[in-house]
Structure 1
Amino acid sequence: MPEPILTLESVGLKNGAGWLFDGLSLTIDARDRLALIGRNGAGKSTLQKIIDGTIEADAGRRATASGLRIGRLEQDPPMAAFATLGDYALAGGAADHEVAALADQLGIDLARPATTASGGERRRAALVRVLAEAPDLLLLDEPTNHLDIAAIEWLESWLERSRCALVVISHDRAFLTSLTKNCLWLDRGTLRRAEVGFGGFDAWADAVAAEEERTAQRLDTKLRAEEHWLQRGVTARRKRNMGRLAKLMELRETRRSLDRGPTSARITTESSDPGSKILIDARGISLAFGPRAIVHDLSLRVRKGDRIGIIGPNGAGKSTLIKLLLGKLAPDSGEIRRSANLAPTIIDQHRQRLKGRTVREVLADGGEWLEVNGAKKHVAGYLKEYLFDAGILDAAAETLSGGEQSRLLLAREFATPSTLMVLDEPTNDLDMETLDLIEEVIGDYDGTVLLVSHDRAFLDRVVTMIVALDGNGKAEISVGGWSDWAARQQAATSAPKPKATPTPTPAPKKASKLSYKDARELADLPTRIEALNKDIATREAALADPDLYTKNPARFASLTAELDRLRETLETAELRWLELAELEEQLAG
């Protein structure tokens, strides 16, 4: 058994009149790779500050191994006191050559003035400083914010080779899945630990929630139902998630069929003329700033219902491409036609809409009702859909946390009538449950989405097409998600040269569709899942009777057992549906 390098025993921290957490214990050893997970406001960043000693706990004990070096990357490191990024990076105490070597690998100019540096440049400088310190325990708070995919992959590779222990807070599912071997779940002041990587977190969290439901059910049926939604929120809506993924796969296949040419079979859409659904038609457009090409000879059709992810290195011109498509900039050459019905909504990343306004004023201009997709909704009920407590309605919007402000803006903008939604790095500062919610809202949105993001898992779960900019004017268009694009890149760069063999052995023919048995099962599963949901709803309605346990304990016990069995059967059926649906998409190519 390895010796722990850091221990927290029964730690507590006061938060106003109450406690943010109390009785919290944690042991970290030198081999740990921990994902620290929890909702916005749960205290994840605060816990990291207690771990590194920046904050002293109000109760409990903190102990560290002799000579332990701890490095912590903050979400927004203070750099105002430093003239350049290099001054900040060197202030960590690492040798000049170590800082310079890391800066070169990350592609950051340390001579850049700290006051005018972009978010991505500041993040790189902060990483250079903390990594150059060579800590034994590394605490990372949203390390992928403002980084492009190439930088994220570089950081993953560096951390995989590193021998330090890790405690990582991140919304980036792919990053956490790649690096972590253990999970910490900070929830309502309680810290749970599981010896599984982030890839196993959902299954573990579901099991924890199910056990809490069973415990609460024995005490009070109403409490059980409340706990279920408080604990799992949007992630419990498996049926809707399944429908969203099915819709995404259908949209991707529709996009492929439109790009295959007139000889291919086409999926029937609501309009027999696909051209009538084109919102933006860019033909051979080019734009350069001096000698630097942003795009060169790009042709792109943006159709109704598209979810287009725009990726590329920082500074490649992603935001510029959006301005071109929306008409805020004119191309040097080429032509862009836009539908007369184009009504874009752009999420304000600088949060200007929130300044000096209450939550109610942001959402409903101070009123009680707002209109969402043609239906009137009470502002308090709409707040709950976005995981807010209705008690914050009259609070100043600027007093919310960064993640809560982002969530509030998204709630406001998705209630605004539009045919096109433009989202620039929408996943920054958001917790996992809010990301699930945003994925669901985008899936239900009737319009078109242009999305700039470096979050690979989010792109995989949301977009129908990737536009990849290389920073030198080239733009590659690929139907599918980020993984589809990355696989094509890998295949293109690693394709073996043909060998001159007189009698080559033919490779086994790859299946192009599901087997008859699997196809039949895939077709039957939605009906079966719907029936299971109805059976579950019937039993939940019966258990909602608060007097049932007293009047008929045998009936209560029977319904409870049936409900547990039906939920397990439903989960198995849904997982099988997802497995077959993904396989069908892969075989379709």
Structure 2
Amino acid sequence: MSAPILAYEGLGLVQGSGWLFRGLDITIGQRDRLALIGRNGAGKTTLLKLLAGQIDADEGRRTIVPGTKVVMLEQEPAMTGFATLRDFALKGEDAPPAYRVEAIAGQIGIDLDREAATASGGERRRTAIARALAMEPDILLLDEPTNHLDISAIEYIEGWLGRFNGAFVVISHDRTFLTRLTKQTLWLDRGAIRRREIGFGGFEAWTEQVADEEARNAARLDAKLKIEEHWMLRGVTARRRRNQGRLTKLVEMRATRRAMMGPQGTAALATASDDSKTRIVIDAEHVTKRFGDRAVIRDFTFRVARGDRIGLVGPNGAGKSTLLKLLTGDLAPDEGQVKRAQTLNAVVIDQQRSLMAPEKRVRDVLTDGNDWIDVLGVRKHISGYLKEFLFDPAVAEAKIGALSGGERSRLLLAREFARPSNLLVLDEPTNDLDMETLDLLQEVIADYDGTVLIVSHDRDFLDRTVTVTLGLDGSGTVDVVAGGYADWEAKRAAAVQAKRAPTAAKSDAPAPAAPKPKVKLSYKDQRDLDLLPKEIEKLEAAIARDEAALADPNLFTRDPKTFDALMKAIETARTKKDAAEMRWLELAEMAEGL
């Protein structure tokens, strides 16, 4: 750990009728790259404001090395009173030089002369980023920096932070962003904070260790307490995070979709069986859409099959929204045609979250003021359904205005997923969601019976959910790739390499013989891929059996040796199960690549 330049000792803050957190000790070193992780409502944003000195604590002492410049990028920068985005970017006595702001603004694609009052959330966020980076801080505090940004802007910020000589603390739901950049982790959980000298890439393994330790400690006291502590720590989706069945299903769907496509990525279903033809829900043929002289979509042919999970990716302005509207019928093509199944019944979850009126209660939004809600034909009580979406049932009477941005997004998902539909349209669904809600959303999408269209800049989310990626680069051409964002990125890289190949071929040096591509798994790998699912099932059954035995609250006092033996057996089985799951996942990805 590097020498601290900012520290808080014994930090405590009262919120409402009690302590939000108390007794926190936090240090930030000169070159720290800290991920700040915690559930929505844990106080992450409040903690950043305390570190920035924007609000005062009720307890604790803040110390900072003289001359240290701390800059905070807020989720929703306040621009009231500023005529243009440029005015906001250059405000205050400590305003950065205009040339630095303009250079960064050009890189992330923002017009600083845009009127602040009419600027979108993404434009405001980009302006705030340009200002924050141009201020050349010693410590940069970032609250969801990738929200509302496209891939190119995210990659620019990743590059900038990779070269940054100062320290930063970042709150983000973007797993790829966190994994690439962070070296240390602060975990804010139930009013306490833990620090570990690992980046976000090691966070899940760390939480598994903490959860297992807390479960063991709780088991020594009371079986019921153990269950409640485990739920509070991990949420209902933790059990699903490595859901083998979901991963298997996704791999199989991608393989099926790849087999349905021709070499250029266009759907080859015209020659498929009658059964395949009846599965088509959207059929786009030679579609072109122009705005003025520019063809945003050019000669696009693609067939969406029932059950597809389609991801739309590309920079802002490339045509993602236009393509989405063409597929759903909100926009007519200039050339070609788009046919949609007559039975298509869509639910659209948009970025504006227009249903979330601040004065409404949670109950009003979810159940129109009732105690019961029909969820895809099944009647559920509001309390139980709220818990499925990681809410305390007591929140039913709360006003929407009192919820955080992430909680509002989660409530909207709960409402829309309850409605009967066979087409789900998600426009930037991951904005403002915490890690646990993202896990839940992935699970719900995996279990959804219909077709899903997703516009997102969250690379990890796309890799975990979609079967086909439609990639747009602004030229009008749409790349169609079976797989997620990583598959589309690999295709782009291969295209760039292919363009360079003719130049390389002119060299007089003889080229080494290319290795033969691997066309199938080795015997051992294929055997492991086939046998590991049964082995994992056996381990899960053993764990469940031993945990059921531990549920006896009198076991520890009556037979401590048996209790200890069961604990050791469970720990051993979990270790084997984790190793087996990781091995299976690696093999499944290898098989999908082949």
Q: Is the 8 A contact 1:283 1:298 kept in 2?
A: yes
Structure 1's 375 and 520: CA in aligned 2 closer, same or farther, altered over 3 A? farther
Cα distance in 2 for partners of 1:118, 1:292 equals: 23
Q: Could you tell me how far 1:542 is from its partner in structure 2?
A: 2.0
Cα distance in 1 for partners of 2:276, 2:243 equals: 28
1:215 aligns with 2:222: no
1:369 aligns with 2:354: no
Aligned with 1:551 (options 558, 561, 579): 558
SS of the residue corresponding to residue 66 of structure 1 reads coil
The residue identity in structure 2 corresponding to 1:72 is M
The residue identity in structure 1 corresponding to 2:413 is L
2:427 is matched with 424
Q: Is the 8 A contact 1:271 1:277 kept in 2?
A: no
Aligned with 1:566 (options 547, 554, 573): 573
Cα distance in 1 for partners of 2:375, 2:90 equals: 51
Q: Is the 8 A contact 2:238 2:436 kept in 1?
A: no
Aligned with 2:473 (options 466, 470, 473): 470
Q: Could you tell me how far 1:124 is from its partner in structure 2?
A: 1.1
Describe how 1:40-439 pairs up with structure 2 within 5 A: 40-91=40-91, 92-238=94-240, 241-260=243-262, 273-355=275-357, 356-439=359-442
Q: Is the 8 A contact 1:308 1:466 kept in 2?
A: yes
Q: Could you tell me how far 1:461 is from its partner in structure 2?
A: 0.8
Q: Is the 8 A contact 2:221 2:553 kept in 1?
A: no
TM-score, with normalisation over the residues of structure 1?
Answer: 0.95
1:521 aligns with 2:528: yes
Q: Could you tell me how far 1:556 is from its partner in structure 2?
A: 2.5
Cα distance in 1 for partners of 2:315, 2:509 equals: 45
- Which structure 1 segments of 5+ residues have no match? none
Cα distance in 1 for partners of 2:122, 2:555 equals: 58
Q: Could you tell me how far 1:502 is from its partner in structure 2?
A: 10
Q: Which sits farther off after the overlay, 218-227 or 12-21?
A: 218-227
Identity of aligned residues (%): 57
Cα distance in 2 for partners of 1:335, 1:97 equals: 48
The residue identity in structure 1 corresponding to 2:568 is A
Q: Could you tell me how far 1:364 is from its partner in structure 2?
A: 2.7
SS of the residue corresponding to residue 224 of structure 2 reads helix
Structure 1's 121 and 438: CA in aligned 2 closer, same or farther, altered over 3 A? same
1:4 is matched with 4
SS of the residue corresponding to residue 514 of structure 1 reads coil
TM-score, with normalisation over the residues of structure 2?
Answer: 0.94
Q: Could you tell me how far 1:44 is from its partner in structure 2?
A: 0.6
SS of the residue corresponding to residue 102 of structure 1 reads helix
Cα distance in 1 for partners of 2:299, 2:309 equals: 22
Cα distance in 1 for partners of 2:273, 2:80 equals: 56
Q: How many residue pairs were aligned?
A: 581
Q: Which sits farther off after the overlay, 465-474 or 6-15?
A: 465-474
Q: Which sits farther off after the overlay, 544-553 or 568-577?
A: 544-553
Structure 1's 167 and 239: CA in aligned 2 closer, same or farther, altered over 3 A? closer
Cα distance in 1 for partners of 2:393, 2:3 equals: 47
1:23 is matched with 23
Q: Deviations over 1:46-91 (max 9, x none)?
A: 1111111001111010000010001110000000111000001111
Q: Could you tell me how far 1:2 is from its partner in structure 2?
A: 4.0
Cα distance in 2 for partners of 1:443, 1:275 equals: 23
SS of the residue corresponding to residue 195 of structure 2 reads strand
Cα distance in 2 for partners of 1:341, 1:516 equals: 46
Cα distance in 2 for partners of 1:410, 1:198 equals: 26
Q: CA RMSD in A?
A: 2.0
Q: Could you tell me how far 1:238 is from its partner in structure 2?
A: 4.3
